[in-house]
Amino acid sequence: MENISHPPMEQLQDLEYCIDSNPPWVETILLAFQNYILMLGTSVMIPSLLVPLMGGTDADKVRVIQTLLFVSGINTLLQALFGTRLPTVVGGSFAYVIPILYIIRDSSLQRIPDQHERFLQTMRAIQGALIIASSLQIILGYSQLWGIFTRFFSPLGMAPVIGLVGLGLFERGFPAVGNCVEIGIPMLLMLIGLSQYLKHYRPFRDFPIFERFPVLICVTVIWIYSLILTAGGAYNHRPTKTQDSCRTDRANLISSAPWFKFPYPLQWGAPTFDAGHSVSMMAAVWVSVIESTGAYKAASRLAIATPPPAYVLSRGIGWQGIGVLLDGLFGTGTGSTVSVENVGLLGLTRVGSRRVVQISAGFMIFFSTLGKFGAVFASIPFPIFAALYCVLFGLVASVGISFLQFTNMNSMRNLIITGLSLFLGISVPQYFNDTLVSSGHAPVNTRAGWFNGFLNTIFLSPPTVGLIVSVFLDNTLEVEKSKKDRGMPWWVKFRTFRGDNRNEEFYTLPFNLNRFFPPT
């Protein structure tokens, strides 16, 4: 029995670089560019979905993409310097899509006859809702309320939540790969082959090129392959959906992009404010807080750090609220959250360096201002990103499941909580999504649109549903008797900043700022 035991491990041992250790500069820059390429998928997909519904043109879509990338770079830098200080990329969030669709379908906006004017008025309404809703996240963070709430978390309660941060995004994986199997399947197979089967093959002076840069290599090869297919006329007589997914010239990004454009606050005009829009948007803020909390805990494990204590989580959520405020001021068309795919990349490359993410933020800002150059990279077909998501989202989900090693999984109580949280976390959002697709509206469909937007946003988020189920059951079923089974003896020391002496190494603010903002 001793030969097959695997004792719980607080930190992963087989990663090369942790938060404070940095690869050589050339490697760091290439890794940072790899992070930039990876986050383009979401940054292009959200505006491509929403801007046409708002009445915007291809030029408007490109400008929104540029703005989203620019603000994402600023938010990533702020989070890495002053927030949680974890190597996480902050980008556009799908959690905000439902409230934004509610704003887009507002009858007062739909009645505007001129398409461009409708786009501008809708964007200003979204900006106003984001600005108001950001105050909720700012208050939750800087008042330490979110940190107080995390005292109800345990390894058992958080394992399904972190797992659902990855598993809940399954629709952006193989279903999107299947939209263009001729480039999606080769991309998926090549990524697994290079990053796993050939990771120990080192053609250049013992440097693990296939393990460090699988995304750059695979995206480059398959992108060239898709360019050849497009130029060769492989999609000339295919259905419209296939052409939209496969062609490299379908998005009209390069032709519509300016050579240089510097995003600036209030570029769409003065925001407009509506109480219903703001309340609906606050649901997306709640969802973003929960999803980001799970992503932060996954990132800490993949970066060989201790789980972020309550004070650090609150600090990160506060800065994320500042990020949503910036989204509203600049007009990104959506709110922001932690990029799950970039968290998975930490584990795939075995590099958790903070410096890599900080430099990737520089790439986001730089290429967002040089429109033509940024649009070239943004024209990569989405099935290529979807193949990456299959691996990276799965990796994040497995990190969540790894938290169960600190619990007693021979306990029927724990098995029921874990199974029910995972199942309902996937099943309930799927029901809401199926109803939305089949009937044109989600299950909550009252005369109060803001109420519909609020509840539908909550229950369309797998991590949010998982947290509601797991945390409630974990804190009401045989709590005192099950402390050890829940993993609390291991977890409790990470609740406070001073609870573990390693926290100072990972989460202390730079520039000696802890003197002015001491951990509480």
Instruction: Give the pLDDT band of residue 500 (cuts 50, 70, 90).
Output: confident
Average pLDDT of the chain to the nearest whole number: 88
- Candidates 237, 238, 271, 249; CA nearest to 58 is 249
Dump pLDDT digits (tens) for 183-203. Answer: 999 999 999 999 989 888 888
Instruction: Tell me what the mean pLDDT of segment 387-416 comes to.
Output: 93
494: left (phi over 0), alpha (psi -120 to 50) or beta: alpha
- For the chain, the first-to-last Cα distance in angstroms comes to 44
Instruction: Tell me what the mean pLDDT of segment 501-508 comes to.
Output: 84
Instruction: Give the pLDDT band of residue 2 (cuts 50, 70, 90).
Output: low
**What pLDDT score does 255 carry?**
66
**What pLDDT score does 499 carry?**
77
**What pLDDT score does 436 carry?**
82
Instruction: Give the pLDDT band of residue 284 (cuts 50, 70, 90).
Output: very high
**What pLDDT score does 251 carry?**
61
Instruction: Tell me what the mean pLDDT of segment 498-506 comes to.
Output: 81
417: left (phi over 0), alpha (psi -120 to 50) or beta: alpha
CA 442 to centroid of chain Cα atoms: 23
511: left (phi over 0), alpha (psi -120 to 50) or beta: left
Instruction: Tell me what the mean pLDDT of segment 56-69 comes to.
Output: 88
Instruction: Work out the percent of the chain whose per-residue pLDDT is above 70.
Output: 97
From CA 302, how far away is CA 352, in angstroms rounded? 7
Cβ(274)–Cβ(128) below 8 Å: yes
From CA 192, how far away is CA 209, in angstroms rounded? 14
User: Which tokens is 415 given?
Assistant: 């098995």
Query: Above 90 in pLDDT, residue 1?
Result: no
Dump pLDDT digits (tens) for 104-150. Answer: 988 888 898 889 999 999 999 999 999 999 999 999 999 999 989 98
Query: Above 50 in pLDDT, residue 36?
Result: yes
From CA 203, how far away is CA 212, in angstroms rounded? 13
Dump pLDDT digits (tens) for 157-178. Answer: 999 999 999 998 888 888 989 8
Instruction: Tell me what the mean pLDDT of segment 200-229 comes to.
Output: 87
pTM for this structure?
Answer: 0.93
State the virtual CA torsion across 500, 501, 507, 509 in degrees, nearest 10.
130
Instruction: Work out the percent of the chain whose per-residue pLDDT is above 90.
Output: 52
Instruction: Give the pLDDT band of residue 8 (cuts 50, 70, 90).
Output: confident
Question: Which carries the bigger pLDDT value, residue 77 or residue 7?
Answer: 77
Dump pLDDT digits (tens) for 220-276. Answer: 999 999 888 888 887 787 887 777 778 777 666 666 667 788 888 999 999 999 988
**What pLDDT score does 4 carry?**
61
From CA 65, how far away is CA 257, in angstroms rounded? 10
From CA 60, how far away is CA 292, in angstroms rounded? 29
3-class secondary structure, 338:
strand
**What pLDDT score does 3 carry?**
64
Question: Of the ranges 27-41, 137-151, 344-358, 488-502, which one carries the lowest mean pLDDT score?
Answer: 488-502
